[in-house]
Structure 1
Amino acid sequence: MRYIFGVLIIILYSECGFSQGKPRTTLSDSLPAPHATKSSMNFSNVIGWKTGETPKAPEGFTVTRYADGFDNPRWLYIVSNGDILVAESNSNHPFLEKIGAHIIGASKSNSLRHSADRITLLRDADGDGKPEVRNTFLSNLNQPFGMLVMGNWFYVANTDGLWRYPYTVGQLAITGKGEKILDLPAGKANRHWTRNLLASKDGSKIYIAVGSGTNIAEKGIMNEFLRADILEVNPDGTGLRVYASGLRNPVGMDWAPGTNTLWTVVNERDELGDNLVPDYFTHVKENGFYGWPWMYHGRFDDRVKAPRPAVVASYTTPDVDIGSHTASLGLAFYDQKAFPQKYHHGAFIAQHGSWNRSTLSGYKVIFIPFSDGKPQSKGEDFLTGFIAELSKEKVRGRPVCVIVTPDGSLLITDDVSNVIWKVSANK
């Protein structure tokens, strides 16, 4: 029974972790030894938002409830006409896993409902800042996540494949027949099931973020084929190659404004203690190797049994430590001008929060300023209030995705509370 619960934890909380304090730009020099503290199971208790409650932004900003009533809103995509697409998806748990989750308290932290497997369209037709139109855009999917429009095609990344559908901007729903243009690794060992999408700056390629199937390749390195990678394909699904590897669970991806540099946020490994291993925010080098599963921040993980390949010698150090186990998922560079100057070209990162730390942290959106295309030495909290009572592990919600709208506002999904929040600068 203990083994079953251990497996359950691995499956349920693949995107998890906690940290304290603000992001650091120094990494290995300040890391503790493995197991300096014990590896904790500390599940948050999601209590939701009372009427009138909202997350808290800095002075000069207003937070409003943009839309609600979803079924696990995970990811967002904005079409060129302003339509907002919401991927509603979740982990799928067999009956025995759900029973185990209730016994150990894990059900308090995440929804155990079956994935809605749906994309919902929101449209603010009159421009008042609130969507009046809400329609099912596409359904009967398989844990959809990343979305993309290129040419006359709408792309969606299910957990097991990349699909595309005929599409004209302005459609309220997909009506044409889709085609699966690329298989993606899934199967039983699918700890990180999300698949994010991003177009190259010239529109000639698609990048796909695929997380590892396990924590540290404990089910065999061959089961991690085409995992823990950012993949590159042509828009028709041909020309598949690994663009960068050793990224345990890359989720959010974006291009730094004014540059040709790709950035991502990565969830690092679990079960080494409260302050190992830091999740990170990094630029992505073509053919770069970022360590997983053999290394983290320049150190070897002695738990990994797979033989070390030659690529380990080309290890690339990540740029910014954003806290151990923070489950940093969403990433958006601020490319508009409505926010004050200090936010221009900087990066917003949504931290979902996790189970593998003795004291709750994460559960917020942070901001990392940029100058000349590079992160500066200090990050800061931007959107907080998700933690209700730290001592009792009570939280109101868990942020996942952050995007910048054409009017310069931010939208943030809160998956367990089924809300999309909007942050606007006061005029």
Structure 2
Amino acid sequence: MRSALAFSLALSAAPAFATPPPMASLTLPAGFHIAVWTDQVPDAREMALGTKNTVFVGSRDAGKVYAVSYAADGRVEKIRTVASGLQLPVGVAFHNGDLYVSAVNRIYVLRDLENHLDTPPKPELVTDKLHTETAHGWKFIAFGPDDKLYVPVGAPCNICDRGDEGFAQLWRMNPDGTGAETVAKGIRNTVGFDWRPSDKSLWFTDNGRDMLGDDLPSDELNHVTKTGEHFGYPYCHQGDTPDPEFGKGKDCKSFTPPVLKLGAHVAALGMRFYDGKQFPAAYRGAAIIAEHGSWNRTAKSGYRVMSVRFNGNKVASYEPLVEGFLKGEKVSGRPADVQPLPDGSLLISDDDNGAIYRVTYKN
């Protein structure tokens, strides 16, 4: 594990792409448009909004955190690397002027960062009490309506039973790292969650286990209705499929089933609720999900951005918003996170191309 932190004040250099972002192949519903917002964010993963026209972006293999400054019309003005030398800093969360960053077993905070983008402050350690395992150890983080920091602790394996050690859970803690408690259990690896604007309830994606064939189990969209709820892993998958090893003697009805099966191996990652006004009214309150794409399926699946519309707590539709990163078996991009902007447009990070796209709508 890398323990040293290094901070760069320089403008990010443009990465060397294996292929350019695949704009010509992408398809969206009528009236929607997509364009490259920036192609200078290597390994871009989770995004977080500041309050002064800044989008913060975590990375995975690059070990960096970026700050993308943009103008009132949405045009990118400047990109800075505000932190480097971090271990898998996928997660970024902006709260009361401070940026929180996940680094496997640690959470750091950069105080008042948006006012010091050219001279980033020295990071402060919030906690180093998380597990050190890197398998599912990189984290998507976010602050909830309760002003608590939500931090997932993925299973350190494909399939294992280590819940009693604090794995396969979603935690929350105070901004200073104290008061950690378990919110939900039985979660293999959530890399995306958000609170529905209408009722402030928590929803999350979960990646299903591997090595049960091409079509089992499905990734999930889940809804937390009570603290401590158990969603099945490793005993039961997709709400109705006992695990061949750990499911013996278990009843799937004992666990909370998913609200929606997203498809096997699609690798559902970042998700946010859309509450903007630019998209058609039918998208208001929809969950937008980035599907990173399969790695061990005979025919690839995922590699797209999906929208889930609701009727109350029930799913009304599950439809593509952006497709075309997968043509046949050829991959040209991998969506990792989605983030609405204040003007109602939508950002999509693509760690494969080191790019962020912007989706707009014009009737």
Q: How does 1:297-316 map to 2 (within 5 A)?
A: 297-304=239-246, 314-316=254-256
C-alpha distance in structure 1 between counterparts of 2:190 and 2:257, whole Å: 15
Tell me the residue number matched to 2:45.
Answer: 74
Say if 2:57 is the partner of 1:86.
Answer: yes
C-alpha distance in structure 2 between counterparts of 1:334 and 1:223, whole Å: 33
Deviations 1:212-235 (A, max 9, x none): 110111xxx348722211101111
Please identify which structure carries the higher helix content. Answer: 1
C-alpha distance in structure 2 between counterparts of 1:158 and 1:301, whole Å: 31
Deviations 1:134-167 (A, max 9, x none): 1112222111122122235321111121122322
Tell me the residue number matched to 1:16.
Answer: none
Tell me the residue number matched to 1:278.
Answer: 218
Say if 2:325 is the partner of 1:386.
Answer: yes
Q: 2:92 aligns with which of 147, 157, 161?
A: 147
Tell me the residue number matched to 1:200.
Answer: 144
Residues 139 and 300 of structure 1: CA distance in aligned 2, closer, same or farther (over 3 Å): same
Tell me, yes or no, if the aligned pair for 1:88 and 1:144 is still in contact at 8 Å.
yes
Say if 2:245 is the partner of 1:324.
Answer: no
Tell me, yes or no, if the aligned pair for 2:242 and 2:252 is still in contact at 8 Å.
no
C-alpha distance in structure 1 between counterparts of 2:48 and 2:25, whole Å: 23
Q: How does 1:395-406 map to 2 (within 5 A)?
A: 395-406=331-342
- AA in 2 matched with 1:412: I
Count of residues in correspondence between the two structures:
344
Shift of 1:379: 0.8
Q: 1:214 aligns with which of 157, 171, 183?
A: 157
State the superposition RMSD in angstroms. 2.3
Q: How does 1:167-206 map to 2 (within 5 A)?
A: 167-172=112-117, 173-187=119-133, 190-203=134-147, 205-206=148-149
- AA in 2 matched with 1:201: P
Tell me, yes or no, if the aligned pair for 1:213 and 1:227 is still in contact at 8 Å.
yes
Gaps of 5+ in 2: 1-16
C-alpha distance in structure 2 between counterparts of 1:320 and 1:278, whole Å: 9
Tell me, yes or no, if the aligned pair for 1:196 and 1:251 is still in contact at 8 Å.
yes
Deviations 1:269-315 (A, max 9, x none): 1111111000010112321001111111133212238x979x98741
Shift of 1:66: 0.3
Q: How does 1:16-55 map to 2 (within 5 A)?
A: 48-49=19-20, 53=24, 55=26
C-alpha distance in structure 1 between counterparts of 2:29 and 2:186, whole Å: 36
Residues 323 and 224 of structure 1: CA distance in aligned 2, closer, same or farther (over 3 Å): farther
Shift of 1:58: 1.1
Taking structure 2 as the reference length, the TM-score comes to 0.88
- AA in 1 matched with 2:156: G
Tell me the residue number matched to 2:280.
Answer: 340
Tell me the residue number matched to 2:357.
Answer: 421
Tell me the residue number matched to 2:13.
Answer: none
Tell me, yes or no, if the aligned pair for 1:212 and 1:224 is still in contact at 8 Å.
no
Shift of 1:423: 0.4
SS of the residue aligned with 1:342? helix
SS of the residue aligned with 1:59? coil
Deviations 1:316-359 (A, max 9, x none): 11110000111000101101111001101001111111122211
C-alpha distance in structure 2 between counterparts of 1:274 and 1:312, whole Å: 21
Deviations 1:394-424 (A, max 9, x none): 1111111011111101110111111111100
Shift of 1:171: 2.6
SS of the residue aligned with 1:316? coil
Identity %, equivalent residues: 32
Residues 50 and 230 of structure 1: CA distance in aligned 2, closer, same or farther (over 3 Å): closer
Gaps of 5+ in 1: 1-45, 90-114
Q: 2:192 aligns with which of 230, 234, 252?
A: 252
Residues 81 and 371 of structure 1: CA distance in aligned 2, closer, same or farther (over 3 Å): farther
Taking structure 1 as the reference length, the TM-score comes to 0.76
Q: 1:291 aligns with which of 232, 255, 275?
A: 232
C-alpha distance in structure 2 between counterparts of 1:86 and 1:211, whole Å: 21
SS of the residue aligned with 2:282? helix
C-alpha distance in structure 1 between counterparts of 2:33 and 2:140, whole Å: 29
Shift of 1:88: 2.0
Choose 66-75 or 176-185, whichever is displaced more.
Answer: 176-185
- AA in 2 matched with 1:354: S
Residues 241 and 419 of structure 1: CA distance in aligned 2, closer, same or farther (over 3 Å): same
Shift of 1:380: 0.7
- AA in 1 matched with 2:154: G
Tell me, yes or no, if the aligned pair for 1:245 and 1:289 is still in contact at 8 Å.
yes
Please identify which structure carries the higher strand content. Answer: 2
Residues 163 and 295 of structure 1: CA distance in aligned 2, closer, same or farther (over 3 Å): same
Deviations 1:185-210 (A, max 9, x none): 123xx32132111212132x111122
| Greater length-normalized contact order (CA 8 Å, ≥ 6 residues apart) | 1
C-alpha distance in structure 1 between counterparts of 2:230 and 2:236, whole Å: 10
Q: 1:263 aligns with which of 185, 198, 203?
A: 203
Tell me the residue number matched to 1:161.
Answer: 106
Tell me the residue number matched to 1:25.
Answer: none
Shift of 1:178: 1.6
Say if 2:179 is the partner of 1:235.
Answer: no
